[in-house]
Amino acid sequence: MLQQSAKIYLLTGNDPSQITLEAEKLLLELAGPTPDPFSCDIIQEGESGSNADLVCSLLRSINSPSFLGGSKIIWLKHYGGFAAEGEGKSKKADDALFKELAKRIQEGLPGDLILVLDGPGCDMRKALPKACAANGEVRIYNRPDMGKRTGLAEMAAILQRSAGAKGIRFSRDAEDCLLQALGGDTSVIDSELEKLLCYCGGPGQTITREAVEQLCFNRAEEQVWALGNCLGKRDLKEALAVADSMISSSKEADRTARSLIMNAANFFRQALWMLVFMADHKFKHPNDVKFFLENHPELRKAAAKGSIEEMHPYRAMIISEQAKRYTPAQMIRAVRILRDALWQTTSSAIHPHVALENALLQILGAGDRRF
């Protein structure tokens, strides 16, 4: 008869909010809403001293059977010291403890033990995560990189998983609207979904686009409007100040800078579409666009997402005013400059903030009127 193996779970990656949420869900599955303190040992930072003390407590708990017998759960909860694990030949005290823990896992833990480790920063080349992968289950949770083509799909998958767990359904365009509102920030998904649940009447109700627009603070849209407004006014000084303010206040400066580069490019694409729209309809003034959309509300219902016809009439008027400050050639050149700036952030050592500033200087610089 085969001996039962311990169940080992390691949850890590570079997104602490996802890791924390998924670890708590896992413990709810394993131990229920009120874990028995005699069979569930929770080891957490802030209670057991330094990182070394936490790992020592973990090793002692592994050596101690359940107080009343039977299975035992040990949870190293939201641990922040995994990145401190050194190379194989390191002689630091912390590294010796990591090696000991990895050795214990490799040799085999008691079959009635469930070990859960969660926290960011594990290097999968190191001994501890290798031991967990070989003898248990490793779950990686990384932030979606909105600067890459796959970023939006990754964010959508995370949102759908969280919404499914809460029994939330979205209307056709509500999910897209919420993705725009979140702007790649996984840390607020849970709180935003809870607000929407309460507003729409609880699980089983359909979340509408109107509810998302009403409740969810749209950081992505704020970035579009703030920087886009500066570009629309052709104000270099204000554009640089807005970009610097957003990036310096962000917890993820590089990702914010890349997002602003893409938002700037989208501004020029949208402005170019507006010029084409005005030419097609022979409109000469921004007010013509506003009056046309106000008098044809049926167009908005049938319009494709992101089209001029879908816009609020007032917003369309503002964009048309801004678009007329550029020629089509100037807009196309601006998009190319921003495309190259985004490429530089992934193919060279240039900081995204610097790449953005250089692009703004090329587009709005006082000496750049030749296009």
Contact 109, 64 (CB under 8 A): no
- Round to whole Å and give the CA distance between 282 and 292: 11
- Round to whole Å and give the CA distance between 75 and 26: 10
Q: Residue-wise pLDDT tens for the chain (371 aa)?
A: 334 567 999 999 988 888 988 999 999 999 888 888 888 999 987 644 557 788 899 999 998 877 767 789 999 998 988 888 866 555 566 678 889 999 999 998 888 899 999 999 899 999 999 999 999 999 999 988 876 778 888 899 999 988 988 888 898 789 888 887 787 778 778 888 888 887 877 778 889 888 888 777 555 555 556 788 889 989 898 889 888 877 887 778 888 888 899 889 989 999 999 999 999 999 989 889 888 888 887 887 777 777 888 877 777 888 899 999 999 999 999 999 999 999 998 888 899 999 999 999 999 985 444 33
Residues 6+ apart with CB under 8 A from 29: none
DSSP 8-state class, residue 112: T
pLDDT in tens, 258-300: 889 988 998 999 999 999 999 999 998 988 988 888 888 788 7
For the chain, the farthest-separated pair of C-alpha atoms sits apart, in whole angstroms, at 84
Sign of CA pseudo-dihedral 108, 3, 11, 345: positive
- Round to whole Å and give the CA distance between 272 and 93: 61
Q: Report if pTM > 0.75.
A: no
Nearest by Cα to 334 from 353, 359, 370, 365: 359
Nearest by Cα to 132 from 2, 3, 7: 7
3-state secondary structure of 73: strand
Amino acid at 303: A
Domains and CATH numbers, the chain: 7-141 (3.40.50.300), 151-215 (1.10.8.60), 219-364 (1.20.272.10)
Nearest by Cα to 100 from 159, 147, 56, 161: 56
- Round to whole Å and give the CA distance between 352 and 259: 10
Pure H helices in 121-173: 127-135, 151-165
- Round to whole Å and give the CA distance between 34 and 28: 8
- Round to whole Å and give the CA distance between 260 and 87: 38
Nearest by Cα to 225 from 211, 241, 242: 242
pLDDT in tens, 303-339: 777 788 887 777 788 889 999 999 999 999 999 999 9
265, two tokens: 């490019």
- Round to whole Å and give the CA distance between 185 and 209: 19
3-state secondary structure of 134: helix
Question: How many secondary structure helices (H) and strands (E) does the chain include?
Answer: 16, 7
